[in-house]
Amino acid sequence: MEKKQSAEQVLQSYLRDGEQVRWQGKTENFPLLDNDAKWQILGKWIGTVVAACAILMLYIGGNENWSVKAAGVIVLIAALLVVSPIMERYNVLRQSYWITDQRAILMTRDRSFYSMELSQIDDFRLVKGKGSRDCLVLGSCIFEDVNRQLRWRSCHPKADMQGNGKADEAQGLVFFGVSNGESAAALLRRCKAEAA
């Protein structure tokens, strides 16, 4: 039976020759309905249930020959929407982050990598979360998502949709819920100053 590799072991195969890790972090545990996303998630759940019930009533009530399969599809779609915040939290909790002397790197739950060259990070923000968790947002192109979709964006790095670069090159990343975000931000500030 093959032993599962640690995140650090998987990272070693992704690093370039001579690339050195200067900072590492991972998402700290957080409640599903924390203050930052509580009303958004509750609204999604309530809206999904109300919409699914209304669609089912209209479909079944206005159609004598309604299909159980069609009704099942409606219920399945509603169930997927209700479960999506739970899956999103599960995915975010299994992410790992690194800043090397060359790149910022995010590893997803399925051990896919996304990275940004330090020279390509045009701006970054340290978003203070509730409690001790901070979120480090890399790349000004995703700053508008910070208040609306921070968890979602952390699971879905902004990539080049035109296909001009490699699949693992990101234009924006979110290091979500890290306890040592201040030290990561300080490191990025130093890298920017050295490059200037």
CA 32 vs CA 25, 39, 91, 125: distances in Å: 20, 11, 12, 23
Read off the CATH number of the domain in which 165 is found: 2.30.29
Tell me what pLDDT residue 29 has.
Answer: 84
Residues 6 or more apart whose Cβ sits within 8 Å of residue 76: none
Residue 140 and residue 52 share a domain = no
Residues 109 and 149: their CA atoms lie apart, in Å, by 19
Nearest to 135 by CA among 78, 77, 176, 179: 176
Residue 65 and residue 15 share a domain = no
**For 109-142, how does the pLDDT look when each residue is reduced to its tens digit (9 = 90+)?**
989 999 999 988 888 988 876 555 788 999 888 8
The answer to whether residue 33 sits within a structural domain is: no
- Confidence tier at 1 by pLDDT (50, 70, 90): very low
Q: Does the pLDDT at position 167 exceed 80?
A: no
Q: Does the pLDDT at position 184 exceed 70?
A: yes
Which position has the higher pLDDT, 156 or 77?
A: 77
Which position has the higher pLDDT, 194 or 26?
A: 26
- How large a percentage of the chain has pLDDT more than 70? 91
Nearest to 44 by CA among 175, 171, 185, 151: 151
Residue 115 and residue 86 share a domain = no
Report the number of distinct structural domains present in the chain.
2
User: H-type helices in 94-137, by residue range?
Assistant: none
* Residues spanned by the domain of 148: 7-27+96-195
**Mean pLDDT over all residues of the chain?**
85
Residue 135 and residue 174 share a domain = yes
Which position has the higher pLDDT, 134 or 34?
A: 134
The enclosing H or E element of 193 equals: helix 181-195
